[in-house]
Structure 1
Amino acid sequence: MIILSAVLLLVDFYKCSSSCCAGRQSYNIHCSRLGSALFALLGVLFSGYSLIISSLGLSQGPYCRTETGWSYPFANTAGGYLVVYSSWSQCLEPGNVVEWNIILFSILIALSALQVIICIYKIIYDVMAMMCGTHKILAQPDPI
């Protein structure tokens, strides 16, 4: 990912353009926006993956020691253990692992969802800027 970011920065710095944008420099189409939109799309994919994995981890529950040995005691509850606090005592070791698991995966879900929203906004912004261009409106003073 770092190599791709460096390539994008170099292309933008040296004003290189790809074949899809060749000859369009006179129309003020910014080709570096396409790379930015593609990186935002990668952000949506990777944060979506994190969102799915975190949701599955939260619904499955922690791996802990129970009376029968080390296992996933809440795997078949489909996340129902989240509201049945009395079932949390099934995990004997490590201490407070259920609370830790819930807090960790809840934070990961929230941050991944936020990243998906920001990346989708970035894609929309870059595509609109590529298609419509960026327009600056200068306020002209009224003649006296």
Structure 2
Amino acid sequence: MCSGGFAKCLGITLIPLAVVCVLCNILLFFPGGKVVESDHITDEVWYSGGIFGSGVLMIFPALVFLGLKNNDCCGCCGNESCGRRFAMLSSILFATVGLVGAGYSVIVSAVAIDHGPKCLALEDGKSVWTYPFNTNGYLTDSTMWSKCTEPVGVVSWHLALFSVILIMGLIQIALCAVQVINGLLGALCGDCCGCCGGVSMFSYALDS
């Protein structure tokens, strides 16, 4: 597969990942599936790592990757090969934007998982909205989850959705990093970088 076609595959993969991250972040505004007051929502949710980092910022590189196969940059003064090389080189910039966005999403999600959700819990004999988990020990000890009395199921909701965003963000980082390498190869060697010719030679060798 040539570098332009490979970039298109990456773009196709990035779009559903971005959509999943946006949906997960939106659901986090409803802890435990409940509507609560804005100041009762976990702080990291407002940072919108899934919406902006792995969502909006990821759409731009995804669309660029999708169009690379057919983009010759006006032929670069009549030279189609030159135009495709420039297009592949420019894709590195958009891949970097994707890396930054996904990196932001991953950091926010990791902090949120470590911090735990904001919920109604007993503190000094009073029920207050707070962060009851001072350490991340709650990740391995589910009996601690009972500290959160409201909203019901907020801890599992918090962990599940932020974990999905974290995993999707890591996959996006990997895909954008791959495109940086793919873009460099495409810029240096051309859209096919000799691979199509190599495939033809390989097929000829097999036939003979």
Over aligned residue pairs, what C-alpha RMSD do you find? 3.1
Task: Report the 3-state secondary structure (helix = DSSP H, G, I; strand = E; otherwise coil) of the residue aligned with 2:85.
Answer: coil
Q: CA deviation at 1:36?
A: 1.2
TM-score by length of 2: 0.55
Unaligned runs of 5+ in 2: 1-56
What does 1:1-144 correspond to in 2, within 5 Å?
A: 12=71, 15=74, 17=76, 25=79, 28=82, 30-67=85-122, 68=126, 69-74=128-133, 76-77=134-135, 79-133=136-190, 134-135=193-194, 136-137=196-197, 138-139=200-201
Once the two structures are TM-superposed, the CA of residue 129 in structure 1 deviates from its matched residue by: 1.3
- Output the TM-score relative to the length of structure 1: 0.78
* 1:96-130 CA distance string (max 9 Å, x none): 00011110111111000000001000110110111
Number of equivalenced pairs? 134
Cα shift at 1:85? 1.3
Q: How far 1:39 moved relative to its partner? A: 0.7
Q: 1:117 to 1:14 in 2, by over 3 A?
A: closer
Unaligned 5+ residue runs, structure 1?
18-22
Contact 2:117 2:155 in 1 (8 A): yes
CA change 1:113–1:141 in 2 (3 A) is: closer
Displacement of 1:132: 2.1
Which structure has the greater CA radius of gyration?
A: 1
- Following superposition, the deviation at residue 15 of structure 1 comes to 1.2
Give the Cα separation in 1 of the matches to 2:95 and 2:151.
39
